[in-house]
Amino acid sequence: MLNERPLTDVDAWLAVFAQSELPVLRHSVNEIERLAADEESTNGRVLAGVILHDPLLTLRVLAYIEEHRRKRQTTDITTIDRAIMMIGIVPFFRAFGSLPVIEERLAAYPQALLGLLKTINRARRAAHWAREWAILRRDMDVDEITLATLLHDVAEIMMWLYAPAMALQFRDAQRAQPNRRSATIQEEVYGVPLYQLKLALAEAWRLPALVVQLLDHRLAENPRVRNVKLAVDLARHSALGWSDPALPDDFKAIRALLHINQETLIRHLAVDDESAQMILAMDQGD
d(CA 182, CA 14): 21
pLDDT at 286 over 50: no
Q: At 70, is the pLDDT very low, low, confident or very high (cuts 50, 70, 90)?
A: low
Q: Are 163 and 2 in contact (CB under 8 A)?
A: yes
**What is the 8-class DSSP label of residue 191?**
S
Quote the pTM value: 0.93
- CA-CA distances (angstroms) from residue 283 to 34, 228, 251, 266, 277? 46, 22, 8, 11, 10
pLDDT at 62 over 80: yes
What pLDDT, in 10s, does the model give residues 133-164? Answer: 999 999 999 999 999 999 999 999 999 999 99
pLDDT at 10 over 80: yes
Predicted local distance difference test score (pLDDT) of residue 270: 84
Mean pLDDT of 105-125: 97
What pLDDT, in 10s, does the model give residues 71-89? Answer: 556 677 889 999 999 999 9
What pLDDT, in 10s, does the model give residues 158-193? Answer: 999 999 999 999 999 998 988 889 999 999 999 999
Predicted local distance difference test score (pLDDT) of residue 72: 53
Predicted local distance difference test score (pLDDT) of residue 155: 96
Q: Are 127 and 146 in contact (CB under 8 A)?
A: yes
Predicted local distance difference test score (pLDDT) of residue 71: 54
d(CA 178, CA 116): 20
- CA-CA distances (angstroms) from residue 131 to 46, 126, 230, 251, 285? 18, 9, 12, 16, 24
Predicted local distance difference test score (pLDDT) of residue 230: 97
